[in-house]
Amino acid sequence: MSKIASHLPRWQIASRFASMWRASGHADLDDQELKSRAAHLAARLPMLYLIFALTALLVVYAFYGSASMIQTVVAPSIYISICLMRARYWSNSAVLARDEAVLRKDISRLQYVGPGVIVFAITWIVSLYPGASVFQQGVVHYVVGVMITSGMLTLIDTPRTALLGGLAAATPFCAVLLIFGDLDHAMIALCQVAVTALLSFIAVRYYEDLGQMLKSSRKLRERQIRIEENAADLKVLSTTDPLTGILNRRAILALAEENIADQANAEPWLALLDLDGFKQINDTYGHPVGDEVLQLVANRIRTAQGIDHCGRIGGDEFAFLISGEKTQAQTVAIAERLADSIAAPVEINGICITPRASIGLRKTERMSLGECLERADFALFKAKVSDVAVALFDKAQEQELLFKTRVASDFKDADLEEELDIEFQPIIDFDTRQILSLEALARWKRKDSSVVMPGIFIDLAETTGRICEITDCMISKAIAFASEWPNPVGVHINLSPHDLMREELASFISSTLDATAFPASRVTFEVTETTLITKPEEALSAITSIRALGCRVALDDFGTGFSSLAYLDRFPFDQVKLDREFARKFGVGTTSAAIASTVFELCQKLRMDCTVEGIECFEQAVLARNMGMRRMQGYYFAKPLKHDAVCAMLANGEWHEDFPEEAAKRSAG
Give the interface with ligand C2E as residue ranges (CB under 6 A).
425, 441-442, 453-455, 458, 470, 474, 494-496, 526, 556-557, 580, 614-616, 633-635, 640
| Nearer residue to ligand C2E within complex by CB, 290 or 634 | 634
- Give least dist CB 551 to Ca ion, A: 15
- Give least dist CB 577 to ligand C2E, A: 7
Asked whether 444 and 418 are in contact (CB, 8 A), the reply is: no
Closest C-alpha among 512, 519, 529 to residue 474: 512
Strand partners, 552: 524
- Give least dist CB 588 to Ca ion, A: 20
Greatest pairwise CA separation for the chain in angstroms: 157
Under the criterion CB under 5 A, does residue 292 sit at the interface with Ca ion? no
| Nearer residue to ligand C2E within complex by CB, 400 or 616 | 616
Position among 331, 437, 494, 563 found at the interface with Ca ion (CB under 5 A): 494
Asked whether 249 and 311 are in contact (CB, 8 A), the reply is: yes
- Give least dist CB 653 to ligand C2E, A: 23
| CA dist., res. 135 & res. 341, Å (int) | 98
Position among 557, 576, 631, 650 found at the interface with Ca ion (CB under 5 A): 557
- How many residues are present in the chain? 669
Candidate segments 301-309, 330-338, 450-458, 607-615, binder of Ca ion by CB under 5 A = 607-615
- 614 contacts which partner out of Ca ion, ligand C2E, none, CB within 5 to 8 A by kind? ligand C2E
- 394 contacts which partner out of Ca ion, ligand C2E, none, CB within 5 to 8 A by kind? none
| Nearer residue to ligand C2E within complex by CB, 196 or 633 | 633
- 454 contacts which partner out of ligand C2E, Ca ion, none, CB within 5 to 8 A by kind? ligand C2E
| Nearer residue to ligand C2E within complex by CB, 159 or 614 | 614
What DSSP designation does 268 have? P
- Give least dist CB 635 to ligand C2E, A: 4
Candidate segments 222-230, 244-252, 269-277, 554-562, binder of Ca ion by CB under 5 A = 554-562
Residue 62 makes CB contacts below 8 A (sequence gap 6+) with 135, 136, 139, 140
- Phi and psi (nearest 5°) for 345? -60, 150
| CA dist., res. 409 & res. 202, Å (int) | 84
| Nearer residue to Ca ion within complex by CB, 380 or 493 | 493
Asked whether 456 and 465 are in contact (CB, 8 A), the reply is: no
Asked whether 98 and 106 are in contact (CB, 8 A), the reply is: yes
| CA dist., res. 78 & res. 101, Å (int) | 29
| Nearer residue to ligand C2E within complex by CB, 320 or 582 | 582
- Secondary structure in 3-state letters for 336-348: HHHHHHHCCCEEE
- Give least dist CB 558 to Ca ion, A: 9
| Distances from the Cα of 328 to the Cα of 12, 147, 369, 562, angstroms | 82, 81, 19, 35
| Nearer residue to Ca ion within complex by CB, 20 or 440 | 440
- Give least dist CB 494 to Ca ion, A: 5
- Give least dist CB 538 to ligand C2E, A: 17
- Give least dist CB 299 to Ca ion, A: 37
- Give least dist CB 647 to ligand C2E, A: 19
- Give least dist CB 608 to ligand C2E, A: 18
- Give least dist CB 397 to ligand C2E, A: 20
Under the criterion CB under 5 A, does residue 377 sit at the interface with Ca ion? no
- 616 contacts which partner out of Ca ion, ligand C2E, none, CB within 5 to 8 A by kind? ligand C2E
What DSSP designation does 520 have? G
Closest C-alpha among 516, 519, 466 to residue 496: 466
Q: What is the dihedral of CA 520, 523, 529, 532, to 10 degrees?
A: -10
Candidate segments 54-62, 102-110, 300-308, 612-620, binder of Ca ion by CB under 5 A = 612-620
Residue 338 makes CB contacts below 8 A (sequence gap 6+) with 273, 300, 301, 304, 307, 357, 359
| Nearer residue to ligand C2E within complex by CB, 321 or 470 | 470
What DSSP designation does 267 have? P
- Give least dist CB 336 to ligand C2E, A: 27
| CA dist., res. 328 & res. 30, Å (int) | 55
Amino acid at 288: P
| CA dist., res. 602 & res. 570, Å (int) | 13
| Nearer residue to ligand C2E within complex by CB, 24 or 633 | 633
Asked whether 377 and 405 are in contact (CB, 8 A), the reply is: no
Asked whether 586 and 606 are in contact (CB, 8 A), the reply is: no
| Nearer residue to ligand C2E within complex by CB, 82 or 612 | 612
Q: Which DSSP helix (H) or strand (E) runs through 439?
A: strand 435-445
| Nearer residue to Ca ion within complex by CB, 499 or 613 | 613
| Nearer residue to Ca ion within complex by CB, 410 or 557 | 557
Under the criterion CB under 5 A, does residue 526 sit at the interface with Ca ion? yes
Residue 19 makes CB contacts below 8 A (sequence gap 6+) with none
SS3 129: coil
- 103 contacts which partner out of ligand C2E, Ca ion, none, CB within 5 to 8 A by kind? none
Candidate segments 52-60, 192-200, 419-427, 556-564, binder of Ca ion by CB under 5 A = 556-564
| CA dist., res. 631 & res. 30, Å (int) | 88
Position among 292, 410, 556, 609 found at the interface with Ca ion (CB under 5 A): 556
Residue 523 makes CB contacts below 8 A (sequence gap 6+) with 479, 482, 490, 491, 493, 509, 513, 551, 552
Tally helices (H) and strands (E) across the chain.
28, 16
Under the criterion CB under 5 A, does residue 274 sit at the interface with Ca ion? no
- 95 contacts which partner out of Ca ion, ligand C2E, none, CB within 5 to 8 A by kind? none
| Nearer residue to Ca ion within complex by CB, 375 or 643 | 643
- Give least dist CB 441 to Ca ion, A: 8
| Nearer residue to ligand C2E within complex by CB, 52 or 525 | 525
Question: H helices of 444-590, where?
Answer: 454-464, 467-482, 505-516, 529-534, 536-548, 565-570, 580-585
| Binding positions for Ca ion, rule: CB under 5 A | 494, 526, 556-557, 613
